[in-house]
Structure 1
Amino acid sequence: MGIDRAFETLIRKYQKEIYYFVLRIVGNEEDAKDIAQMAFVNAFRSLGRFKRQSKFKTWLYKIALNLCRNHLKKSRFQQTDELDPAMATDDDPSRSIIDKEKRLELHRAIKELPEKQRLTVVLRTYKDLSYADVSRILGCSEGAAKANFHFALQKLKKKLGKVYGLQKS
């Protein structure tokens, strides 16, 4: 019973965070709920294999990411151009900085990034994870995570600069 209670505590601690991470990847609330729940089920079933070489949070994100990838491959999900209202919550750091229209453009631009760059931006910016944690979740070196973030920011600046007339085409 002790492990069940401890795991319930972990679920309460990370449930919202994992849900919003999954939602940013799959773009659908129902799928995000299912995938987030499955991430916790898989983590519970695999607790014996958790080697503590990384933080539990990092391990859980990796499980969730793998489930997202499987879901996207299986469903060949096409993201819509609409910003899901659930994504624009107080957990969204861009909310207080830019208005809804600019947030929408930012989300569209992020969706257009290559997968590893997009995931690096989501993990670093929205989930405030370290490069070390990002590298463990994505299965790349810390240097590659830094490079992905750097190149993603360059692409976003170029794309959003054109959208708002801040730089020449």
Structure 2
Amino acid sequence: MMATLLFIIPSGKKEGEKLMDWNKCRKLQWNIVLLLGAGFAIADGFRTSGLTGILSDGLRFLEGAPTLVIVPVACVFSGVITEFMSDDSTTTLVLPLFAELAKSIEVHPALLMISGAIGAQLSYLFPTGSPSNVVGFSTGHITIKDLVATGLPLKVVGVTALTVLLPTLGN
């Protein structure tokens, strides 16, 4: 419904010109729009099917674990998922999962949710991880091998920095 308003609201530049017209709409990168939409559908399917509960049960081994174990596990968990669906969709999926898990293992929800949200942004290995990865990959100048070679060290540094800094910021 909001997208329809783009065809109605005047742009203010020229008389009768709207924010969006059909010519502009045809030039949009629809593969990115569809990728984001598919990711949100997958996240909703995970919740509806009960898969988030199964995943949450699988992470209950974190009960009683120290912060220096919980943070990287949550970050890597969402960091792996985000390589196969968009970072926004991963965040939509893991935040409710980690909120529920935090209650069951009796830790502050922010510890898991911040770790999971930041881990979901560490999508460097595959084009499906974020729209910017898709745009770069679609040029044909970047291969998956290039993404992995550059992204893996970035992901390791990101998880390490989060593991060290998050408990420090929380105290």
TM (norm. structure 1) is: 0.31
TM (norm. structure 2) is: 0.30
Mark the structure with the bigger radius of gyration.
2
